[in-house]
């Protein structure tokens, strides 16, 4: 289970005195705990594996955006720190699909669902998220879907 892997990795990082990994794993576990608390407030169980994978992907996207801003501002040390956080987070994600694989899947799904306009984008993205959580970057996939449906 992903939660156990995260906790085990934190313990290992602490034994190895890997400050970057400790910091990143604590951020992940804190975000996970926040989501669990929010879910409990809504009367549901702690978030599942799929939601954890989505959360990790979102964290990576946020860091990539930060890297872009830091590089534009000439803050390479901060960009490098964000990149090292991405590397720690990626260890817990399944292998990501290539752009070609995403495009092929999107094309197949659009024809399978009979989507023919931008109004169907939500339906296509919902199907992608339910089938490919954790293995697909949905930020990039939404651009592909939009391009195919216009």
Domain co-membership, 31 together with 67: yes
The sign one gets for the Cα dihedral 10, 12, 17, 21 is: negative
Domain co-membership, 66 together with 112: no
Residue 57 banded pLDDT, cuts 50, 70, 90: confident
For residue 47, pLDDT over 90 is answered with no
Residue 150 banded pLDDT, cuts 50, 70, 90: confident
**Nearest CA-CA partner of 110 in 100, 125, 95:** 125
For residue 18, pLDDT over 80 is answered with yes
Residue that finishes a domain, picked among 90, 107, 132: 90
Residue 74 banded pLDDT, cuts 50, 70, 90: very high
CATH code: domain of residue 142: 1.10.10.410
pLDDT at 97: 86
Domain co-membership, 78 together with 44: yes
Q: How far apart are the first and last CA of the chain?
A: 40
Domain co-membership, 66 together with 107: no
Domain co-membership, 86 together with 145: no
Domain co-membership, 71 together with 107: no
Domain co-membership, 52 together with 111: no
Residue 66 banded pLDDT, cuts 50, 70, 90: very high
Which contiguous run of DSSP H or E holds residue 149? helix 138-149
Query: Taking the model in full, what pTM does it have?
Result: 0.73
pLDDT at 50: 81
Cα-based torsion angle of the residue sequence 95, 60, 7, 24 in order, rounded to the nearest 10 degrees: 140
Q: Backbone phi, then psi, for 121, in 5-degree steps?
A: -60, -40
What is the total count of domains within the chain?
2
pLDDT at 64: 93
Task: Give the residue numbers spanning the domain of 12.
Answer: 2-90
48 by DSSP, 3-state: which? coil
Residues 108-141 pLDDT 10s? 998 888 888 888 888 989 888 888 877 887 888 8
Residues 94-103 pLDDT 10s? 888 888 999 9
**Nearest CA-CA partner of 55 in 133, 121, 108:** 133
Domain co-membership, 48 together with 109: no
């Amino acid at each position: 289970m992903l939660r156990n892997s995260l906790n085990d990795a934190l313990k290992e990082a602490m034994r190895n005195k890997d400050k970057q990994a400790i910091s990143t794993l604590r951020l992940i576990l804190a975000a996970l705990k926040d989501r669990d608390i929010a879910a409990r407030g809504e009367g549901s169980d702690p978030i599942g594996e799929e939601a954890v994978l989505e959360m990790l992907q979102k964290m990576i996207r946020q860091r990539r955006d930060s890297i872009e801003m830091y590089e534009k501002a000439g803050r390479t040390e901060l960009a490098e720190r964000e990149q090292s956080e991405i590397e720690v987070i990626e260890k817990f994600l399944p292998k990501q699909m290539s752009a070609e694989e995403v495009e092929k899947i999107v094309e197949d799904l659009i024809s399978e669902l009979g989507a023919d306009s931008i109004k169907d984008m939500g339906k296509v993205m919902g199907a992608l998220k339910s089938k490919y959580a954790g293995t697909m970057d949905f930020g990039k996939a939404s651009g592909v879907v939009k391009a195919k449906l216009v």
